[in-house]
């Protein structure tokens, strides 16, 4: 039929295509999917890394157990990668471990502990400032070379990355994806087993409504076969509040060894707010008052989650580089079972191959009428041919709005800072962050030091 | 599992349960559905009619070809029917054919022709005034006896009926359903056959986004297997603009013998506005300037749709009464193939038996951020366990907003009139209706005569 | 005190400075105002006309009865006029009498009569299309040469002119002024005399709240010394409904000889809507259904207002050219009593010389929360140093919202047409206009002919 | 002229009319105002106190230096006082010093210091819970006995008192007044003297735009004779940042001996946010992070403002009781120079005697489109005959929105708690307050103790 896309000739541009993590996830999911095929265009500022992934990817299509046949090609320029793309995936690391170490660990000198440091808090804010100019560049390239492509962002800080894309190119068809919500849904499946002995339920079997902002999302409704899961969760929280609960999912997920938690923060938030927090505890904790879960390393330990150190990240990267070597040499092969991520499913839906509802980060055009238009919110959305339509969340409790809006206004201030070149706006956001439990003078000192450490990326400011 | 509803013990209250149309549709669809069972409580101001349906319904569960086993019971009071209900269906006829004749035919003396007369236009407005007090009563009864039930309205004028329910009981879980959109979706399936030779496509195989108000809905997106149907529709319109196109669906649908049309109005609206009007032409025409499609009977004939006369309605009722007699006597049996309506599917989704997206009329809490909050709009919505969440439509073209808002503000004025007892507000809406192509003095004369003819129902006004 | 503007060194740029009407008004008002002085920079595409006004203006400061001393200087380029300006006045005539004749009189061939033809209706819409590119150019020049200046627009169609300025340069400090509201306020003063024998009341002594869009404004509140004027107006309308009432103001106002009316349209709108329409009848009539006040010349005569013909405009210009000649030759002198316009008062307020409340046309940022953000509305606003803050109108009756929104959505469609170069959007607005009482085919013919007649100005379209 | 109020027969109902502070202010201002006269109806739960004020008030009209002649009358029931009232003044003390001591001082055991304790913070929240049922009662009485009266509230916590009035009676014509903003305006006058040697400027000579919530208001614009005061304030802050500045106003204002401050908090907030905080430092400090200005008594001393103790309040009341005795005995006479408050000026404006712009606390119907509709905000408003129209504030910086919204969402949660009888919502607000720098367990302990101490007033909860 005329008008249909050639499903065997899809082009996916991957910005950050030298990645040794998300890129392999994508390869894996594409390999298992037989309805679509085409080219994955890998672009990375580290061209060699992209070349390695080109080689790794092209091995796949030779394998018999691979049903999805894709060509992988590293591009030296972003315009080459983008031109003709149907989809753009953005998954970059903004800066190096050096800047990340400053983001995460310098605040510790001031008594501020961060369990991730890439979303909110001092680290998230400074990382945002570093990332926004990169996202502006990418948005401009998309506008120039592939304005009709669907753009999926995986880079953190998610909210400000997506906001940056829309700020620079308002007509962009972009959304952001993160698997934290899936983890919590899987966790509810384990609850079903633990509390009711119901085994084998998959997260896709549950229905849940997502509200909030990335890494600080909540379910205000969750059900299984029509049964409201909230009363069960209430008892589950009581049962495991003190000891915590270790779920299977957190042990097996590829990224989650150091990422697992006992869900005690989640349980505590339920007791406070009556909604089910839907992200890993290490993310949730960073959105709360700094003297609470992240007061000091002992407190963190008592809440049974971990601080993700940059040293761990370095070690982890080393292992992944080693894995890359093995993939290249043929010593090891990419696993071609589905990863649990939804990127490829979303692409299929956008191509007309199966409507479904999932959660995404996207500009608020009214789906959360209680929060400012133009902010980036995470809610459910209905995916269909060339459309992503958020579902309406008009009834978020004021207590949660208070928590969300604090960060949403910070996002506005940070973006204003990037657009005007006036660092004051960013500092005001910094002061307003719940982790910044410092008086203004001390806060300024920390802020200045952090900015200094990342200044070479802050092209929009005049920094002495 | 604790917390789950007993799916074999559902109670559906049917207000207007003596109906010889919609009620049988429901019986038919319940009979084909094996996952749920329970009682249908029939309430009607004509108790005998309800008793007849009780008898007809109870025959069904004796039949072997019926998999859905329901008890039917006529109630003499509304509280009996509502108490304990999980669902409430509202499908009433407000007034008699006498008032309907005034609504539809009196304006003809003034050169105003109406193809239905139950939605907008002089007839729709006066019918609304008659219906609102009834809906207020029903809403109060629901608040008192079944405040947690889901309420599905089929009564016209849809928008004002649903608005009345929310006005009187703001926490009501109500929405309104109408099959006009389904008809247009089926019509697109016939286009696929006509234009591309693709046969056997069902409306559920299409994806479309619904925007607008009941009986004046549009698709701003429609696709099949990922293929945008708009370019095809564009050619289809050109092919059949002059001759019109008679679809299969309009010939077979139970209600549609006199209701069929050649879709020329629909084609013309596409040429004007670039969106696919999604209702029968006889409804669409009533929302447009009165000197256009409904100028006079010759013009209507040229556009190839029909004026639904009250005489036809009387004849139709006679046939349905005869059918009722045959059902009761056993001469004839109710057909137990699915009717094509979605009410039972919606109930199942609300019970947790299968999420899906369909179109509904519901209060605007932000799903159409460009139209006033509190208005009643028809859009897609996601049905899941105990939830109906509209999907966001934030990008309706200003030309369509202009058309919709004219009626939406009329709905506000009519409701204000009913609430304050000041008929002036209703008359201002009357004047603002596109069918009322009269100067103000003549308009007032017609309005007064129409009000006089229906005054016994207008309990909220002091009418001399 | 440091920081204060030099009040004797103000620069006013006048775009359209060759005008033989508004420009002299401004001269007159500046001449009577001793607190401020400086330069008036005259820019006009007719440079000679600007030179004439330069000479006329510079005569003024030699006169002893003139207390406000200003230099007038004609500029050949807009950048010269704008550079350094504190205020920009825009009062241009878009096109010539030739285009205006097409706007106003061509529709008469189709039975559409327009009393002004420069605001809404076929003429207003086509005039808007012609004017928008000019306003875009002016906005760009202001952004480049005087971005901090306050911009006062007098050009019609007011709403779309102001919208065009904000569309091209969103940070512009612009508003639009029109004296129609003042006329109605003065008319209420005459009512006080007629009904209560209270003489000498000036419009500034009244308090009234303005709602609506330019030339279709209403008072929803009006009082004098705390007395609500609505009950008095109600009786006044009854007294003069049939005969009409000729006010003094309409006889003496400089522009209003042919513009006077008997206020019968105003009275009729009060009977319909219960609010006091606040513009001349010839403007009000153009916003109403075309078969009402403007049905044909006889009907117009019966309603006792006039059709402003282009012949009259030509004759009027001739007289004004003659007056210009006399001013230049010294045969006649400009009257230096206050004109009744408020432009100079507004400039003073913006300079910190006297806060006050008046009505303006400005972008809706929330002052009318019931109408779309970004539309141009006319409401009261509080003028103070460097600030114009609209007052809130949150309670406009739905019947008036229905009337306003119809035109506001038309403005959106017309602007979209200008921005996208797609004439269809403008035609859809045309069809939606209440004066266009034609079927779609005939409407298209008229539209095409009108567009053809003005096409040389429509630089944004590809017209065959 | 018919329709005008009899200005010599106005009735003012004073709820809390036994007051030994605000009541005397009102007497004083009414005494100096000759255009209006009538009756002041005093209602108080302490009837004897009202009787004392009746006697004190009635003395006034005998004095020759008093031009405003009013009758004072104590009423035993609220309906007597309200019936026929044109204005209602609400100024009550919710509870006794015993509850206030718990509000203010119990948190000190947990390291939480409050400088006032009646607005936000632990004390403000608990006081709100105690006050809301009283306001509900008053609103119901107003609805029953004087629904058209204008209602002026002076009771704290201002935002929640006004919100309670609108919640119970949505059509109420109520607003709230507070003199903190006036104090800051006067302070700017002193700056003019200090920085520029300009003497004798009164606050009414300044123009300023107010944004925020009561006791945490800011100026985003301030000018004198057209001169922007922000650059001057910037230097002023630099000059006095370390030492602080003691203004004359704070020394002479009747309430302000213990209330004076050095404005160092105000200066610090300017450095942080670039806007001029417009309330006493003791109020401002309570809206900021608890470890900042209110960290401990030493820190408070360093910032040069005071903690208002309940002991001081007791002493102050004793002095005012002594003054009451002297007024009654004739030993002392009420001063009849204007107090500086604006209540009487507002009443006059509402009666049609002089439009003006001032700041009020009122329901957000769109005047701050960036904050939730229905919240209580403090902005400028235009007072005229029977109208209070807020001016639009559409451009509040995101950094201030972050601060305001945190409290605004708390107000919503507190109101929800009062309406539903679920204390959890109030506790969630408590946790979200910036002064509550406690972990959740400790916070709960404090909350429970505070609630216990005030429980007899909390009629909406079931408290064990
Ligand atoms: Mg993530
Ligand atoms: Mg229908
Ligand atoms: Mg005008
Ligand atoms: Mg106060």
* DSSP string covering B353-415: S--EEEEEEEE-SSSSTTS-TTSEEEEEEEEETTEEEEBP-----HHHHHHHHHHHHHHHHHH
- Please name the chains neighbouring C, where neighbouring means 3+ C-beta pairs under 8 angstroms: B, D
Phi, psi angles (nearest 5°) of residue B326: -65, -40
Whether B212 contacts B408, CB under 8 Å: no
**CA of A378, nearest ligand number:** 1
Helices (H) then strands (E): counts for chain D? 17, 13
Rounded distance, CA B433 to CA B287, Å? 8
pLDDT at B258: 62
Alpha helix (H) residue ranges in A83-201: 97-105, 121-145, 158-168, 180-196
- Read off the pLDDT of residues A30-57 as tens digits, 9 standing for 90 and up: 999 999 999 999 999 999 999 999 999 9
Q: Does A398 touch chain D (CB under 8 A)?
A: yes
For the segment A304-320, what is each residue's pLDDT rounded down to a tens digit? 998 988 899 999 999 99
**Mean pLDDT, rounded, for A263-288:** 96
Alpha carbon distance C263, C281 (integer Å): 6
Q: Is the pLDDT of residue A27 over 70?
A: yes
Q: pLDDT at position D31, please?
A: 97
First and final C-alpha spacing in chain C:
61
Task: Please provide the size of chain C in residues.
Answer: 464
Catalytic residue flag (residue C425): no
The answer to whether the Cβ–Cβ distance between D398 and A405 falls below 8 Å is: no
Q: With CB atoms and an 8 Å threshold, state whether B367 touches A365.
A: no
Q: pLDDT digits over B307-357, tens only?
A: 988 899 999 999 999 999 999 999 999 999 998 889 999 999 999 999 999
pLDDT above 50: residue A322? yes
Interface test with chain D among C204, C226, C369, by most D beta carbons within 10 Å: C226
pLDDT at B251: 58
pLDDT at res. C257: 53
Which of residues B257 and B452 earns the better pLDDT score? B452
Residue A178 among known ligand-binding residues: yes
Mutating which of B159, B364, B405, B416 best tests the C interface, going by the most C Cβ atoms within 10 A? B405
Residue B248 · residue B436 · CB < 8 Å: no
User: For residues C376 and C368, what is the distance between their CA atoms, to the nearest angstrom?
Assistant: 10
Distances, alpha carbon C162 to alpha carbons B12, C124, C209, C210, C454, in Å:
56, 14, 21, 18, 21
CA distances from A225 to A247, B1, B67 (A): 22, 10, 21
- Look over chain B and give the mean of its residue pLDDT values, rounded to a whole number: 94
CA angle A193, A197, A201 (to 5 degrees): 45
- What's the rounded Cα separation, in Å, for the pair C414 and C436? 15
CB-based burial, A208-222: b 16+ in 10 Å, e otherwise: bbbbbbbbbbbbbbb
Residues in contact with D373: Cβ distance below 8 Å, sequence separation at least 6, in sequence order: C369, D364, D365, D366
Neighbour count for residue A65 (Cβ, 10 Å): 10
**What are the backbone angles phi and psi of residue B191, rounded to the nearest 5°?**
-60, -40
Residue C425: name the closest of C410, C408, C446 by CA.
C410
Q: Which residues of chain C have pLDDT under 70?
A: 1-3, 248-259, 464
Q: How far is CA D107 from the centre of its chain?
A: 23
Verify whether the Cβ–Cβ distance D429 to A295 is below 8 Å.
no
CB contact under 8 A, A292 and D413: no
Contacts (Cβ under 8 Å, ≥6 apart) of C343: C25, C26, C29, C89, C152, C177
Strands B276-277 and B356-363: unpaired
Q: Does B228 lie at the interface with A, CB-CB under 8 angstroms?
A: yes
- Tell me if residue B19 falls in helix, strand or coil: coil
Residue of C nearest to D198 (CA): C1
Residue C178 annotated in ligand binding = yes
Q: How far apart are the C-alpha atoms of C384 and D448, rounded to whole Å?
A: 50
Q: Which distant-in-sequence residues (6+ apart) come within 8 Å of B332 by Cβ?
A: B323, B326
Compute chain C's Rg from CA coordinates: 21
Decide if C432 and B399 are in contact by the 8 Å CB cutoff: yes
CA quadruple A325, A326, A329, A330: dihedral positive or negative?
negative
- Structural contact between residues A284 and A119, judged by C-beta atoms closer than 8 angstroms: no
Residue pair D91/D161 in contact (Cβ under 8 Å)? The answer is no
Ligand with minimal distance to B22 CA: 2
| pLDDT above 70: percentage of residues in chain B | 97
D444 touches chain A (CB under 8 A): no
- What pLDDT digit, counting tens, does each position of C380-418 carry? 999 999 999 999 999 999 999 999 999 999 999 999 999
Is there a contact between D180 and D221 (Cβ–Cβ < 8 Å)? Answer: no
pLDDT at B254: 46
Q: D250-254, long-range: CB within 8 Å, 24+ apart, which pairs? A: D250/D183, D250/D187, D250/D280, D253/D179, D253/D183, D253/D340, D254/D25, D254/D339
- Give mean pLDDT in consecutive 10-residue pieces for chain D, a chain of 464 residues: 83 96 94 96 97 97 94 98 98 95 97 96 98 98 98 98 98 96 96 96 97 98 96 97 80 57 95 96 95 94 91 92 94 91 96 97 97 97 98 96 97 98 97 93 96 96 82
Cα C215 to averaged position of ligand 3 atoms, centre (Å): 6
For residue D357, CA distances in Å to B84, C207, D26, D354, D361 come to 56, 14, 20, 10, 13
- C-beta of residue B247 within 8 angstroms of C-beta of residue B263: yes
N-to-C CA span, chain A = 61
Instruction: Find the angle CA(B15)-CA(B20)-CA(B24) to the nearest 5 degrees.
Output: 80
Q: How far apart are CA D251 and CA D352, in angstroms?
A: 35
Give the pLDDT confidence score for residue B340 in this predicted structure: 87
What secondary structure does DSSP assign to A251-288, as a single string?
A: HHSTT-TTT----HHHHHHHHHHSSEE-S-HHHHHTTS
Q: Please state, in angstroms and as integers, the Cα–Cα distance from residue B121 to each residue in B97, B104, B270, B453, following that order.
A: 18, 9, 22, 16
Q: What average pLDDT does the segment A65-85 reach? A: 97
SS3 at position B277: strand
Q: How many helices (H) and strands (E) does chain B have?
A: 17, 13
Strand-pairing partners, residue C357, are: C382
Geometric angle at alpha carbon B155, from B152 and B160, rounded to 5°: 95
List strand residue ranges (DSSP E) for B127-168, in order.
150-153
What residues 11-70 of chain A have any CB closer than 8 A to a CB of chain D? none
Q: Which of C369, C382, C386 sits opposite D366 (nearest CB)?
A: C369
Nearest to A226 among B223, B357, B385 (CB): B385
pLDDT value, residue D257: 52
| C194 close contact with D: CB closer than 8 A | no
Q: Which helix or strand (DSSP H or E) is residue C379 part of?
A: strand C376-384
Q: What is the reported pLDDT for A252?
A: 52
Question: Which residues of chain C lie closer than 8 angstroms to D5, CB-CB?
Answer: 226
CB contact under 8 A, A399 and D428: yes
- Asked if pLDDT for residue A184 goes beyond 80, the answer is yes
With beta carbons less than 8 A apart as the criterion, state whether B371 and A369 touch. no
Question: Chain A residue closest to D372 (CA)?
Answer: A370
Q: Do the beta carbons of residue D385 and residue A387 sit within 8 Å?
A: no
pLDDT at B256 over 70: no
Pick from C235, C256, C237, C254: nearest CA to C245: C237
Residue among A3, A228, A385 minimizing CB distance to B231: A3
- Predicted pLDDT at A463: 79
Confidence of residue A248 (pLDDT cuts 50, 70, 90): low
Q: Do B392 and A365 lie within an 8 Å CB cutoff?
A: yes
Residue D214 CA to ligand 4 center (angstroms) comes to 7
pLDDT exceeds 90 at position A114: yes
d(CA C339, CA B354): 72
Q: Tell me the domains of chain D and their CATH numbers.
A: 10-96+116-177 (3.40.50.720), 180-308 (no CATH)
């Amino acid at each position: 039929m005329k008008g249909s896309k050639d499903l065997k000739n899809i082009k996916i541009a991957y910005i950050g295509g030298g990645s040794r993590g998300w890129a392999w996830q994508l390869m894996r999911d594409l390999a298992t999917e037989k309805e679509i095929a085409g080219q994955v265009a890998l672009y990375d500022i580290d061209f060699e890394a992209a070349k390695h992934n080109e080689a790794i990817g092209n091995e796949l299509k030779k394998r018999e157990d691979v049903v999805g046949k894709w060509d992988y090609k590293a591009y030296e320029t972003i315009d080459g990668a983008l031109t003709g793309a149907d989809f753009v995936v953005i998954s970059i690391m903004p800066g190096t471990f050096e800047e990340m170490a400053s983001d995460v660990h310098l605040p510790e000198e001031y008594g501020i502990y961060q369990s991730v440091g890439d979303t909110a808090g001092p680290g998230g804010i400074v990382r945002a400032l570093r990332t926004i100019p990169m996202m502006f560049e990418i948005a401009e390239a998309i506008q120039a070379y592939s304005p009709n492509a669907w753009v999926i962002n995986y880079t953190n800080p998610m909210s400000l990355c997506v906001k940056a894309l829309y700020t620079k190119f308002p007509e962009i068809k972009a959304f952001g994806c993160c698997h934290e919500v899936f983890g919590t849904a899987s966790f509810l499946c384990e609850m079903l087993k633990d509390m009711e002995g119901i085994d084998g339920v998959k997260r896709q079997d549950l229905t849940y409504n997502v509200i909030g902002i990335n890494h600080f999302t909540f379910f205000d409704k969750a059900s299984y076969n029509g049964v409201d899961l909230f009363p069960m969760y209430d008892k589950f929280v009581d049962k495991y509040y003190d000891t915590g609960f270790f779920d299977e999912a957190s042990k097996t997920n590829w990224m989650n060894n150091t990422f697992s938690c006992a869900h005690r923060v989640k349980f505590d938030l339920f007791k406070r707010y009556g909604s089910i927090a839907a992200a890993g505890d290490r993310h949730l904790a960073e959105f709360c008052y700094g003297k609470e879960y992240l007061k000091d390393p002992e407190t963190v330990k008592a809440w049974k989650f971990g601080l993700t150190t940059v040293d761990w990240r370095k070690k982890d990267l080393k292992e992944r580089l080693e894995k890359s070597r093995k993939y290249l040499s043929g010593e090891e092969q990419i696993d071609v079972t589905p990863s649990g991520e939804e990127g490829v499913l979303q692409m299929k839906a956008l191509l007309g191959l199966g409507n479904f509802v999932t959660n995404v980060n996207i500009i608020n055009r009214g789906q959360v009428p209680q929060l400012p238009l133009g902010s980036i919110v995470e809610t459910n959305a209905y995916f269909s041919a060339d459309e992503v339509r958020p579902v309406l969340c008009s009834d978020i409790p004021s207590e949660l709005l208070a928590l969300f809006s604090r960060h949403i206004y910070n996002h506005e201030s940070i973006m204003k800072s990037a657009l005007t070149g006036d660092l004051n706006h960013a500092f005001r956001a910094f002061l307003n962050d719940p982790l910044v439990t410092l008086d203004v003078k001390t806060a300024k000192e920390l802020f200045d030091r952090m900015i200094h450490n990342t200044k070479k990326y802050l092209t929009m400011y005049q920094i002495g």
